[in-house]
Structure 1
Amino acid sequence: MKVLLTGSTGYIGRRLKKRLIEDKNIDLRLLVRNKSSLSNEVKDNLEIVQGDTFDLESLKIALKDVDVAYYLIHSLNKDNYRDLDKLSAQNFLEAAAFCKVKRVIYLGGLGVKNSDTSEHLLSRIETGEILSSNKNVQTIWIRAGVIIGSGSSSFEIIRNITEKLPIMTTPKWVTTKAQPIAVEDVLSYLHNSIYLKEEENLIVDIGSEQLSYKSMMLKTAKVLGLKRIIIPLPFMSINISSYWLNLFTPVPFSVAKALIEGLKSEVVIQNDNAKKYFPEITPISYEDSVSNAIKEIENDQVISRWNDNSNNIWEKDAQNEISKAVFIDRKEIDISNLDASKVYQSFIGIGGTNGWFDFDFLWEIRGIIDKMIGGVGLKRGRRSQCDLRISDCLDFWKVVDLKQNERLLLFAQMKLPGMAWLEFKIKDNKLIQSAYFYPKGVLGRLYWYILVPLHYFVFNNMIKSIIKKAKSL
Structure 2
Amino acid sequence: MKVLLTGTTGYIGRRLKQKLKENKNISLRLFVRNKKSLSSNIEKDIEVFEGDTFNKESLKEALKDVDTAYYLIHSLNRTDYKNLDKISAQNFIEVAKKCNVKRVIYLGGLGVKNSDTSEHLLSRLETGEVLSNQKDVQTIWIRAGVIIGSGSTSFEIIRNLTEKLPVMTTPKWVLTKAQPIAVDDVLEYLEKSLFLQEKENLIVDIGAEQLTYKQMMLQTAKALGLKRYIIPLPFLTINLSSYWLNLFTPVPFKVAKALIEGLKSEVVVQNDNAKKYFKDITPMPFIDAVKKAVKEIETNQVISRWSDNAGKIWEKNHTKEIADAIFIDRKEIDISDISKSKVYKSFISIGGKQGWFDYDFLWELRGIIDKIIGGVGLKRGRRSQDELRVGDSLDFWKVVDIKENERLLLFAQMKIPGSAWLEFKIKDDKLIQSAYFYPKGVLGRAYWYTLIPLHYFVFNNMITNIVKRAKKS
Fold conserved between structures, TM > 0.5: yes
Please say if residues 178 and 213 of structure 2, whose CA atoms lie closer than 8 Å, have aligned partners that are also in contact.
yes
Which runs of structure 2 are paired with 1:32-181 in the superposition (5 Å)?
Answer: 32-181=32-181
Deviations 1:405-447 (A, max 9, x none): 1100000000111110000000011000000111111111111
Which amino acid letter does the alignment assign opposite residue 445 of structure 2?
R
The gaps in structure 1 that reach 5 residues or longer are none
Deviation at 1:323, TM superposition (A): 1.2
Match of 1:317 in 2: 317
Match of 2:466 in 1: 466
Deviations 1:13-52 (A, max 9, x none): 0000000000011111111111111111223321111100
Cα distance in 1 between the residues matched to 2:99 and 2:334:
56
Cα distance in 2 between the residues matched to 1:118 and 1:310:
24
Deviations 1:448-473 (A, max 9, x none): 11111110000000000001000110
Match of 1:334 in 2: 334
Which runs of structure 2 are paired with 1:311-390 in the superposition (5 Å)?
Answer: 311-390=311-390
Please say if residues 33 and 51 of structure 1, whose CA atoms lie closer than 8 Å, have aligned partners that are also in contact.
yes
Cα distance in 2 between the residues matched to 1:211 and 1:310:
32
Which amino acid letter does the alignment assign opposite residue 351 of structure 1?
G
Deviation at 1:310, TM superposition (A): 4.4
Which amino acid letter does the alignment assign opposite residue 4 of structure 2?
L
Deviation at 1:136, TM superposition (A): 0.1
Moved more, 29-38 or 65-74: 29-38
Cα distance in 1 between the residues matched to 2:311 and 2:336:
37
Which runs of structure 2 are paired with 1:445-464 in the superposition (5 Å)?
Answer: 445-464=445-464
Deviation at 1:140, TM superposition (A): 0.2
Cα distance in 2 between the residues matched to 1:209 and 1:322:
51
Which amino acid letter does the alignment assign opposite residue 171 of structure 2?
P
Deviations 1:130-167 (A, max 9, x none): 00001000000000000000000000000000000000
Please say if residues 34 and 51 of structure 1, whose CA atoms lie closer than 8 Å, have aligned partners that are also in contact.
yes
Which amino acid letter does the alignment assign opposite residue 160 of structure 2?
N
The gaps in structure 2 that reach 5 residues or longer are none
Please say if residues 34 and 315 of structure 1, whose CA atoms lie closer than 8 Å, have aligned partners that are also in contact.
no
Deviation at 1:318, TM superposition (A): 2.1
Please say if residues 35 and 43 of structure 1, whose CA atoms lie closer than 8 Å, have aligned partners that are also in contact.
no
Alpha carbon RMSD of aligned pairs, Å?
0.6
Deviation at 1:316, TM superposition (A): 2.6
User: Secondary structure of the residue that 1:312 maps to in structure 2?
Assistant: helix
Which runs of structure 2 are paired with 1:418-457 in the superposition (5 Å)?
Answer: 418-457=418-457
Deviations 1:309-362 (A, max 9, x none): 142111233222211211111100111111110000100010000000000000
Match of 1:222 in 2: 222
User: Secondary structure of the residue that 1:60 maps to in structure 2?
Assistant: helix
Indicate yes or no: 2:231 matched with 1:237. Answer: no
User: Secondary structure of the residue that 1:264 maps to in structure 2?
Assistant: coil
Residue identity over aligned pairs, in percent, reads 76
Which amino acid letter does the alignment assign opposite residue 371 of structure 1?
K
User: Secondary structure of the residue that 1:40 maps to in structure 2?
Assistant: coil
User: Secondary structure of the residue that 1:279 maps to in structure 2?
Assistant: coil
Please say if residues 106 and 142 of structure 1, whose CA atoms lie closer than 8 Å, have aligned partners that are also in contact.
yes
Cα distance in 2 between the residues matched to 1:17 and 1:348:
25
Match of 1:212 in 2: 212
Cα distance in 2 between the residues matched to 1:182 and 1:84:
29
Deviation at 1:83, TM superposition (A): 0.3
Cα distance in 1 between the residues matched to 2:55 and 2:461:
46
Cα distance in 1 between the residues matched to 2:292 and 2:415:
34
Match of 1:21 in 2: 21
Which amino acid letter does the alignment assign opposite residue 277 of structure 1?
Y
Which runs of structure 2 are paired with 1:289-300 in the superposition (5 Å)?
Answer: 289-300=289-300
TM-score by length of 1: 0.99
Please say if residues 351 and 382 of structure 2, whose CA atoms lie closer than 8 Å, have aligned partners that are also in contact.
yes
User: Secondary structure of the residue that 1:433 maps to in structure 2?
Assistant: strand
User: Secondary structure of the residue that 1:328 maps to in structure 2?
Assistant: strand
User: Secondary structure of the residue that 2:48 maps to in structure 1?
Assistant: strand
TM-score by length of 2: 0.99
